[in-house]
Structure 1
Amino acid sequence: MVVSRAEIERLRTEADTIFTRLERVTAALERARTEQGDHWDRRELDLDLETPTGETIGVTLDLDRSAAENAQKRYERASELESKLAQREAVAGKLAPVPAEPLAYLVLYHLAATDGDGSRSMAGDLDADHDRVADHCTELISSGLVAVDREQTPTTYRLTDDGRDVLDLLADRDGKETFLRWLDDPRTLARRLSRGGPDYPRMTAAELGLDLAHVRHCYRAMEAIGLVRIYEGSIIKGTERKLKPKTETHRKHTYYVTTDVTDRILRDLEDA
């Protein structure tokens, strides 16, 4: 699960609300403990409460804890997540809310291009497992980068303003550099291409021992970000391809090469 400020704020809001409605929460817990119901199966009680700012939220209470303990548990969890987020942000910067998977970035770019789509349609277009796409959508919703419209059939996901801000960041050099610093496999692929010349996903996967679908998603995400481009020539000269030296290679696959900005970023990373 990706740690997000939205999740931290949710936990603290719930804790504040429980404390400000302590008598009501205590009474609800005591009443639930004397009544029969499915809350005993989960040992949890769902309760609607009014926040200090006047909004109504739903909270799930632990039947085995007091009202104060339910609130305190949320404060402790929020502090724990805040510490994890700080560690993540130290490396990932403003990309911290995005799952550290190329497929998650492809979901963001896909939603930007389509102005909203369902998870099954996305999985088909991205040549990805549906469950993984759905999981990433859930994480991106939690991070505040994607919103969900459940009234649509099928359920439709849309990019939020924060999601668009992430893509705007990736359009800049600093965002591209942060992406390469943060994600190990794309950085490995970028270095391989920069040093060895054009390569295609199947060979990359075989030689690096990586999953082919993952490698394809890496290349597609890197292409969307502007870190690689598709090699356009029909014949690759031996001087261009140090990975597998031949006089020339007739292009039968989709080959990728690094962009100029990627080569500059990699040089800077090596000099750092």
Structure 2
Amino acid sequence: MTSSRAALGLVAFALAFAPAAHAQTEALPRQVEIAEDFGTYLCPSESAGRQMVGYLQRSDIAGGYQATGCRARPDRSGTIRITEVLQRFRVEAFHPPQTYMLYRGTAVDGRQVIGLVGEEGNDRHPRDALGYFLRDATREGMIEVETRNPAYVCPDGIAAAKVVVALADRARGTAPAARRAALLQQALAANGCSPATGRYRVTALHQRQQAEPSLEAEEDWVALSATDRDGRTVGLLYNTAMHD
């Protein structure tokens, strides 16, 4: 019995002086990569990051920089991959309020970093050409075709892309408006495309060709795949320069 008590005492002594375990981290976000064109703050330590949150709450970014040593990440410095979420904070000073994550991550050059990033904004931020198009040229992924702003429906996205490629040839010249219109109609007929009507949900981006054939006519043709109101997958030829 005495030996058992002695053993338990040694275990308790060892536990008392054992190094503290790392605090439990939180769940990773839906999007674990921070694109290089999305803003994040990099901080010298976890404590500096937690202190910086207080300055975000007061919308005092400059004061936070001075007090904590945190800084906005330089532009075009590469993607950061979040490896741990240390804590989440609700920042009510922003409109709308945002959840900021204090994270550990890995920079594109392999450096380990500590930073703060808005979770909702990072989750929504585009990661590819289709994502940017959906954000900039659609309303929640939908395109509404109006008579004053025509678009064209094609058998599939490949056919729409062929029209865009054909239009790229005339973009190099300064043909009169009537000639440009005739070339467009030729390309549409050759690829089985016709005027579109109604609403379409964009599902893929195949080809894009921006052109300014004259001072009077700017064009930004995009070949898309989309589903129409009947659920059919079609190609869609869309001139974003003519649409809001």
Please report the TM-score for the alignment, with normalisation by the length of structure 2: 0.25
Q: From the two aligned structures, give the one with the greater helix fraction.
A: 1
Greater radius of gyration (CA):
2
Q: From the two aligned structures, give the one with the greater strand fraction.
A: 2
Please report the TM-score for the alignment, with normalisation by the length of structure 1: 0.23
